[in-house]
Amino acid sequence: MNPISEIKRLYLIAGFIESRHLQDEVANALLSRIHERVAFLVQANDIPADKLALIEQLERGVYNTNYDGYKWVKVGKYVDDPSKTWEERYAALSAHHIAETTFLIDKIREMAGTGDK
C-alpha cells in the first residue's frame, strides 16, 4: 500500500474512534499506535507537514461532522405488501417515492418561507 493511502486509512480509523468518544484502554492504545505508524510513514517517506495536515483534516472530518442546530424531516417509511404481484408492488413503491419527494420539496419550501410551487 502506498504511504499516503495508508495514512488516509489510519486517520479515517482514528476519526471513527474519536467520533464514538471511546476512552477505554484498547481505544487509547490503538490511537497511540496509529500516531506512531503515521509518524514513521511521514519520516520514512519525507511527507511535507502541510500535506499531512490536509490529509488528517479531510480524513478525520468524515466522522466529526457536527449536526447541532440541524432539524430532521421525518418521512413515512414504505411498507411492502408481499401478497400483491410484482407489478402492483412496483407501482406502489413508485407512488410512495413520488409522494415522499413531493412532501420533502413542499417541506423545504415551507421551511425556507416560500410558498412557491
Question: What are phi and psi for residue 85, nearest 5 degrees?
Answer: -70, 165
pLDDT tens string for the chain (117 positions)?
Answer: 788 888 888 888 887 777 777 777 888 888 889 889 988 988 888 888 888 887 777 766 655 556 566 666 777 888 889 999 999 999 999 999 899 888 888 888 887 776 555
Helix, strand, coil % in the chain, rounded to nearest 5? 65, 0, 35
Residue boundaries of the structural domains of the chain:
3-61, 71-117
Helices (H) and strands (E) in the chain, counts: 4, 0
pTM of this prediction exceeds 0.85? no
